[in-house]
Amino acid sequence: MQQMGRVKLGKGGVAVEVDELSQTDVAHEGCTIGKRDLKRASAAKSRWKRVRTVYNYLWDHTANPCTSTSTVSLLCLIIAFRATHHAIMNLLQLFRVETLDSRFASKSSQPLPGTQASKWKTGEYYAYALAFATIPFFMFKSVYDVSQPSHPSFKQYAHLLEDGWVPGRKVDNSDAQYRSFRDNIPYMGMLLVAHPLLRRVYDKFFSSAPEKAGNGDAQLNRRITYDLLFAAIFSIALHGTSALKVLLILWVNYQIATRLSKSYVGPATWAFNIAILFANELCHGYQFADVFSTILPTQTTLAGQQTGEGWGEWLDSHGGLIPRWEILFNITVLRLIAFNFDYLWSLDRRASSPIEKNLDLANLSERDRANMGAHVSDFTFRNYLAYVLYSPLYLAGPIVNFNDYISQCRYPLATTSRQRVIPYAIRFGICLLTMELVLHYLYAVAISKSSPDWSLYTPFQLSMLGYFNLHVIWLKLLLPWRFFRLWALLDGIDAPENMVRCMSDNYSALAFWRGWHRSFNRWIVRYIYVPLGGSKGNPKWRAAINYGAVFTFVALWHDINLRLLIWGWLVVLFVLPEVLARMAFPANRWKDRPDQYRWLCGIGAVGNVLMMMAANLVGFAVGLDGLKGLVDGIVGSLGGRVFLVAACGTLFVGVQVMFEWRESEKRRGIDMKC
């Protein structure tokens, strides 16, 4: 036998030792494929180019008698193995949080202080892996079984199902909020492509003289002009004549920021915008017919119609694609408040501008962009309208404050490059496909909307109906947010990612709200929580009051109804046990017993998960009565109580995996704080 390099081939068989392909030598009966022959492959930058180079070599040398079938088979095996390995690694890279939002990428990739060694290859986590490989199948199957036409409850909700694109399956399109998004995906997809392309056409034909290097004012002016033009068309298409109402509210808010003295701007801003939330709800969007009948004298025509109401009804009949504009206006209220306070605070930081600090305006950090990304002179009504009505983020966010928006308009970020956007678009497509499969095979939402007889379901099925209801809620919010963020990325604006954790990857009530609707959470911290005093340096009772104020506003902002108020207060109530547990069991007392502390935290986290599921089922799914029916069905029998114990054990396993997943992020230098 002749040996060369890392591959040894003999007449009686093949023995293989493989290193990097670029270092592979092959010998067979006196013939070699050495480093010289693979020089082009080792020099290729792309792994796929390397594979192609070897393939071409084999094709050119198959006539050589020394290149036997075993040699070719071996090299093909090496190529296939490496190609599969790289495909798996690329897929894992696609689902890393750094791919989702570059804000989480570590600059050094060094492990954070206090990071523990990996536990993935320990016996404990092999047991957890076995649980993960088996239990989810039964979770899906339990809801799939009750979603069959043969189930006794199927007739109760069959009218809520529609024809789907999966052969032999209906689709659960019964959620009105998601239905409005799903049914309009083709049209929004065209808008997603057309808007950035039109901007490029506009930039090409209407750009001014070449701007000086480092001066982004021309870029800012060009972007703002296009944003305003497109926003005007977009707003009229969406709201029709009601766009005038939106414009009036925006004008009043701007006058509050720029006309009042500094001491009155803050209180007046809050009073006006909270009043708008209530007025929009109570006045049903200020119908023109109601307004005209109130302020105009009533006159009756020969046909017997009152002139004021007639004009009003005509205007109301031209309400655009979304006549009920007030439903989606809540997100705009956040931008109105953000603009006013950004302007107010800009008046106090003139001495600490980026220029005074010698910062590179084209490469500001996210914090610097949010705090000082705009000059005082940038707070014009023109820029204000472009910011508030910015089309990709207008309907649902994510939320970017005014400073950050102006900074990115002036100096586009590298994170909006094609290399960053394409993986994000692929992830969005995968999430959309996941939602479609869930709606075609698991009818959890339709079942919960049909006032079901809970006694027809086993405790396991009841719990899974609640669980998948929450997953549909997560996906129905994630998809619009990611769609609009993708649209903004294609247009050159990098907004924060709203959903950075899967719904099932949360164990802390406090951390959950940092990762769920993340841009809203950051808005709350900046404009409510910190001004109220936060929690640091304050007594615990004061921190609890601050939490109560925050979640009361959050509930009212979502919708003015009692169910969401109960949800907000439940969240505050469920946060308290976690806060008290952290005080009773501080981590520094358990530093010599890390595993015991991890298990203890896991027990507490199971309770947290159950409470968070209960609060969100009340607020966004089945309501208080529905939750009561679910709980009674689960714990109302001995079998149900046994199941609850088993479910807690399963949650404990999941929580331990969540702990280690976060440790693996810390080993890459990432701390998401959620």
Q: What is the DSSP letter of 306?
A: B
Calculate ∠ Cα 92-40-22, nearest 5°: 50
What pLDDT, on a 0 to 100 scale, did the predictor assign at position 14? 38
Say if residue 269's pLDDT is above 90. yes
Lowest mean pLDDT among 4-8, 123-127, 436-440: 4-8
Q: Name the pLDDT band for 238 (thresholds 50, 70, 90).
A: very high
User: What's the rounded mean pLDDT across residues 21-36?
Assistant: 41
DSSP 371-398: HHSS-GGG--HHHHHHHHT-HHHHTT--
- Considering only residues 480 and 530, tell me which one the structure prediction assigns the higher pLDDT: 480
What pLDDT, on a 0 to 100 scale, did the predictor assign at position 41? 45
CA distance 347 to 376: 7
What pLDDT, on a 0 to 100 scale, did the predictor assign at position 20? 40
What pLDDT, on a 0 to 100 scale, did the predictor assign at position 535? 65
According to DSSP H, which parts of 114-160 are helical? 123-146, 154-157
Closest CA to 669 of 117, 103, 116, 108: 108
Highest mean pLDDT among 144-148, 204-208, 541-545: 144-148
Tens-digit pLDDT profile for residues 349-376:
765 566 666 677 777 888 888 888 888 9
What pLDDT, on a 0 to 100 scale, did the predictor assign at position 350? 60
Q: Name the pLDDT band for 159 (thresholds 50, 70, 90).
A: very high
Q: Name the pLDDT band for 7 (thresholds 50, 70, 90).
A: very low
Letter for the amino acid at 7? Answer: V
Note the Cα 653 to chain centre separation in Å.
Answer: 25
Say if residue 73's pLDDT is above 90. no
Say if residue 655's pLDDT is above 90. yes
Token pair for residue 554?
Answer: 């959050």
Q: Name the pLDDT band for 566 (thresholds 50, 70, 90).
A: confident
> Would you give the end-to-end CA distance of the chain in angstroms?
58
Question: What is the enclosing helix (H) or strand (E) of 7?
Answer: strand 7-10
What pLDDT, on a 0 to 100 scale, did the predictor assign at position 430? 94
Say if residue 661's pLDDT is above 80. yes
Note the Cα 215 to chain centre separation in Å.
Answer: 33
What pLDDT, on a 0 to 100 scale, did the predictor assign at position 302? 47
Give the start-end residues of each E strand in 136-255.
161-163, 170-172
Tens-digit pLDDT profile for residues 301-329:
545 555 555 777 888 888 889 988 998 89
CA distance 452 to 160: 13
- Considering only residues 144 and 583, tell me which one the structure prediction assigns the higher pLDDT: 144
CA distance 126 to 274: 52
CA 144 to each of CA 410, 433, 621: distance values in angstroms, whole numbers, following the listed order: 51, 17, 19
Whether the CB-CB separation of 105 and 96 falls below 8 Å is answered with no
Beta strands at 7-10 and 2-4: parallel, antiparallel or unpaired: antiparallel
CA distance 96 to 117: 20
User: What's the rounded mean pLDDT across residues 39-45?
Assistant: 47
pLDDT above 90 covers a percentage of the chain that reads 47
What pLDDT, on a 0 to 100 scale, did the predictor assign at position 532? 83
Whether the CB-CB separation of 227 and 235 falls below 8 Å is answered with no
Whether the CB-CB separation of 224 and 493 falls below 8 Å is answered with no
CA 232 to each of CA 228, 389, 394: distance values in angstroms, whole numbers, following the listed order: 6, 8, 12
Bridge partners of residue 300, in order along the sequence: 306
Say if residue 521's pLDDT is above 50. yes
Closest CA to 391 of 274, 315, 495: 495
Whether the CB-CB separation of 309 and 375 falls below 8 Å is answered with no
Beta strands at 31-33 and 161-163: parallel, antiparallel or unpaired: unpaired
Who contacts 429 (Cβ-Cβ below 8 Å, separation ≥6)?
none
DSSP 49-113: HHHHHHHHHHHHTTTSTTS-HHHHHHHHHHHHHHHHHHHHHHHHHHTSHHHH-GGG--SS-PPPT
What pLDDT, on a 0 to 100 scale, did the predictor assign at position 22? 41
Sign of torsion, CA 609 612 618 620?
negative
Beta strands at 161-163 and 170-172: parallel, antiparallel or unpaired: antiparallel
Q: What is the DSSP letter of 35?
A: T
User: What's the rounded mean pLDDT across residues 272-291?
Assistant: 90
Question: Is the preceding peptide bond at 398 cis, omega within 30 degrees of 0?
Answer: yes
CA distance 21 to 6: 10
Can you tell me whether residue 286 is helix, strand or coil? coil
Say if residue 250's pLDDT is above 90. yes
Say if residue 563's pLDDT is above 50. yes
Whether the CB-CB separation of 499 and 437 falls below 8 Å is answered with no
- Considering only residues 423 and 372, tell me which one the structure prediction assigns the higher pLDDT: 423
Say if residue 409's pLDDT is above 50. yes
Say if residue 140's pLDDT is above 80. yes
Q: Name the pLDDT band for 455 (thresholds 50, 70, 90).
A: confident
What pLDDT, on a 0 to 100 scale, did the predictor assign at position 358? 65
What pLDDT, on a 0 to 100 scale, did the predictor assign at position 329? 93
What pLDDT, on a 0 to 100 scale, did the predictor assign at position 106? 79
Whether the CB-CB separation of 69 and 76 falls below 8 Å is answered with no
CA distance 547 to 524: 11
Note the Cα 343 to chain centre separation in Å.
Answer: 28
User: What's the rounded mean pLDDT across residues 181-197?
Assistant: 95
Lowest mean pLDDT among 47-61, 195-209, 227-241, 243-257: 47-61
Say which of 28, 239, 440, 558 is annotated catalytic.
558
What pLDDT, on a 0 to 100 scale, did the predictor assign at position 591? 85
Tens-digit pLDDT profile for residues 611-651:
888 877 876 667 777 778 778 888 778 888 898 899 999 99
Say if residue 421's pLDDT is above 90. yes
Can you tell me whether residue 300 is helix, strand or coil? strand
What pLDDT, on a 0 to 100 scale, did the predictor assign at position 139? 95
CA 631 to each of CA 39, 220, 570, 613, 619: distance values in angstroms, whole numbers, following the listed order: 68, 56, 16, 12, 16
Say if residue 387's pLDDT is above 90. yes
Can you tell me whether residue 139 is helix, strand or coil? helix
Tens-digit pLDDT profile for residues 586-606:
888 888 899 999 999 999 999
Say if residue 384's pLDDT is above 70. yes
CA distance 198 to 382: 21
Question: Does residue 558 carry a catalytic annotation?
Answer: yes
Average pLDDT, whole number, for the chain?
83
Say if residue 43's pLDDT is above 70. no
What pLDDT, on a 0 to 100 scale, did the predictor assign at position 5? 40
